[in-house]
């Protein structure tokens, strides 16, 4: 890297130590950031750039990009703009326009070239793998169905208005508003259901709707919904926590920013 290139770093938040290291040798490794259409664009805060630069020993330099927009698909099935430059391997990565102005996201990945329309995010979420999430969701749904079926029929005995006289078992009446946890547990475990007593249809439907609505909504909110909204976690380096816990950089990058990593 020549000194003239290194002097551009202060305009982009580069440190003086980085400039001095770049001026000492012409072959210092550096990170070239080509800003695409910076005027009037919503900033994307890339808080992993500084960590990557420190980890790899690169200096950070900003250069204007030739492409003035994100890019579009041409009739010949090729891409122009920033996406086209990325596909032609003129750059190593691109800042996704899908997560603007959010310090939680770091849209960078050195592991592979990014294809058009594909973006990566790194944040402190998703401790389980997708396969584990799927099996947990299926298991939770099955358990919820079993519990709902059991509770639907057992609640008939809790809400029954007549006492059991055939087996001498204690029955809670409608006049007794206090239903202890021990009594409910005893009914669920020990007492068989009675076939000679039936609740009204509307009462049974209301009771079933309440039980199924409560239990299924709880399981779906806990397992299934969380599986659907979990972000794609990409770990380009060994320690993901190091990337997401460091302080953000002081400058902003616009959506569609192209980055080229060169190490000599």
Mean pLDDT of all residues in 166-184: 48
Determine the pLDDT at residue 16.
41
Q: Give the per-residue pLDDT at 41.
A: 31
Instruction: Examine the pLDDT at 75 and tell me if it is beyond 50.
Output: yes
237 closest CA partner among 133, 129, 131, 120: 120
Summarised one tens digit per residue, pLDDT across range 102-122 is 333 333 333 333 333 333 333
- Kindly tell me if the per-residue pLDDT of 72 is higher than 50: yes
Taking the C-alpha atoms of residue 31 and residue 260, their distance in angstroms, rounded to an integer, is: 6
The yes-or-no verdict on residue 196 having pLDDT over 60 is no
Helix axes 181-189, 130-158, angle to 10 degrees: 100
- pTM for this model (two decimals): 0.28
Using CA atoms, how far apart are residues 38 and 71, in angstroms rounded to an integer? 15
Q: What is the pLDDT of residue 71?
A: 64
Cα–Cα distance measured from residue 100 to residue 96, given in angstroms and rounded to the nearest whole number: 8
Q: How far is CA 257 from the centre of its chain?
A: 22
* Top mean-pLDDT range of 78-82, 96-100, 254-258: 78-82
Residue 143's pLDDT band (cuts 50, 70, 90): confident
Q: Can you spell out the DSSP letters for 14-32?
A: --HHHHHHHHH-TT--EEE
Residue 116 phi, psi dihedral angles, 5° rounding: -60, 135
Model pLDDT, residue 142: 74
Element (H, E) at 242: helix 240-245
User: Under a CB-based contact definition with an 8 Å cutoff, are residues 81 and 65 in contact?
Assistant: no
Winning range, highest mean pLDDT, from 13-17, 109-113, 153-157, 188-192: 153-157
3-state secondary structure of 33: strand
pLDDT band at 147 (very low <50, low <70, confident <90, very high): confident
The mean of the pLDDT values for the chain is: 50
């Amino acid at each position: 890297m020549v000194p003239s290139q290194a002097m551009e770093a202060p305009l982009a938040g580069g440190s003086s130590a980085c400039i001095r290291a770049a001026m000492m040798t012409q072959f210092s490794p550096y990170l070239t950031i080509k800003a695409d259409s910076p005027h009037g664009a919503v900033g994307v805060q890339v808080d992993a750039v500084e960590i990557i630069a420190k980890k790899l020993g690169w200096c950070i330099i900003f250069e204007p990009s030739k492409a003035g927009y994100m890019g579009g698909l041409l009739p010949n099935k090729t891409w122009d703009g920033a996406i086209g430059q990325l596909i032609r391997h003129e750059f190593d990565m691109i800042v996704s326009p899908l997560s603007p102005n959010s310090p939680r996201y770091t849209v960078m990945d050195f592991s592979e070239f990014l294809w058009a329309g594909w973006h990566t995010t790194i944040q402190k979420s998703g401790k389980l793998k997708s396969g584990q999430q799927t099996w947990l969701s299926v298991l939770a749904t099955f358990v919820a169905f079993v519990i709902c079926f059991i509770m639907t029929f057992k609640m008939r005995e809790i809400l029954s208005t007549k006492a059991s006289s055939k087996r001498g078992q204690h029955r809670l009446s409608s006049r007794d508003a206090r239903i202890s946890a021990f009594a409910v547990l005893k009914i669920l475990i020990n007492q068989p259901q009675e076939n000679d007593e039936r609740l009204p249809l509307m009462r049974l439907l209301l009771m079933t709707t309440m039980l199924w609505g409560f239990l299924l909504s709880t399981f779906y909110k806990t397992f299934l919904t969380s599986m659907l909204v979990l972000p794609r976690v990409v770990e380009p380096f060994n320690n993901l926590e190091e990337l997401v816990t460091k302080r953000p950089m002081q400058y902003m990058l616009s959506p569609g920013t192209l980055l080229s990593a060169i190490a000599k």
